[in-house]
A and B are shown apart, each in its own frame.
Chain A
């Protein structure tokens, strides 16, 4: 299944963030909320079981100056294999002049899945972006398939963050220099002008990035423990 969806949010003359373009394509179904205000809320619903091996999904999100969007998932995403081992891929591209919070639910890398995920964000001078990723290595008692997940964010063309996470190589996942044998890895990127100090515990940290913004990282054995860290930033 190949699908591309697009969402454009702008600020109207009354100071409301308004969805101007909403183009869903199964399985990427965008559900806007009918409330009017400074923040537009849209849910991203997977309207078919996806992604399966062979699927290629892409979503483009544009948010204009002064506008704010919250894009939320509704359910965990299960990365599943196709019938003959093909790769699946998903990409989300943000063009931000206003403010975006992208909060999908956790992604579960099931056995034999083979997926590549790319999140790209281009921010202008004052744009803000918050994006979360929680990866679960397999369902209970299941070995994970393979996933490459990368995020790249730039502000006015200059790189703020570029990280690729690869899971599914047992020797690296188990290494204390890899994922330290933890089943759940979560990150939350906050790109804004707020200065946050460094904080951390045994398997979590909140750190300032070199060119502005912060990153929270947590490793754990369950989603609840990991998201608690991410919620706190």
Chain B
């Protein structure tokens, strides 16, 4: 449980703070501009990308073959920008984890692993791993919204607290999901192409 808390803590030095999960692009287009539009964004993100990531964290926590999971998650992540963001966050998390929780299974992860696999290896209870992953799928974009849009931190926190993160984590433990997120993929690809100043890597 402590490991899950540390990984979900925004002060964990895994480099997650440089990723907005598509929020920066959505904000730049005016799609997310206030609390209701942020709530809708986070709700959709949780039920799509969040559920997918959480399912893979749970599978890794159950001890399933990591190379197989890595290839299966690649097949479920058609956007190269999304694959790069997931692997960059996995690499950052792995770097910090090697010092804190060295293990043979951590060493068995593929090079630049997808972040959900790292979470699953570190948090060996499937539900806790899924919960950590599902929470991170919305907490990063939520804090990015505070920074980018100047939204009220209390209001944004209340939105995150109201999301069905635990329900999604439970569902993620049932079977390996394959949910796609077409709009998020398109936002991620457009974010990479965007010229000018970007505060976030994704």
Could you tell me which A residues sit within 8 Å of B by CB distance? 150, 152, 158-166, 169, 171-172, 174-180, 182, 185, 187, 198, 200-205, 207-211, 215, 217, 219
Contact = CB atoms under 8 A, between A and B. Distances in A.
Interface residues of B, number: 39
Contacts of A201: 190
B31 A176 contact: yes
A211 B83 CA distance: 12
Give the residue among A160, A176, A200 with the most B Cβ atoms within 10 A. A176
B78 interface: yes
Contacts of B9: none
A207 B78 contact: yes
Interface stretch (B39-47, B100-108, B125-133): B39-47
A161 B22 contact: no
Given A171-B43, A176-B40, A162 B189 contact: no
Interface stretch (B89-97, B154-162, B180-188): B180-188
Interface of B is mostly: helix
A85 B90 CA distance: 44
A178 B76 contact: no
B72 A164 contact: no
Given A172-B43, A176-B41, A162 B182 contact: no
Contact of B183 (A150, A160, A164, A176): A176
Nearest to A198: B80
A150 B49 CA distance: 16
A150 B178 contact: yes
A164 B189 contact: no
A176 B44 contact: yes
Given A177-B41, A177-B48, A211 B22 contact: no
A196 B183 CA distance: 21
A171 B45 CA distance: 11
A200 B190 CA distance: 7
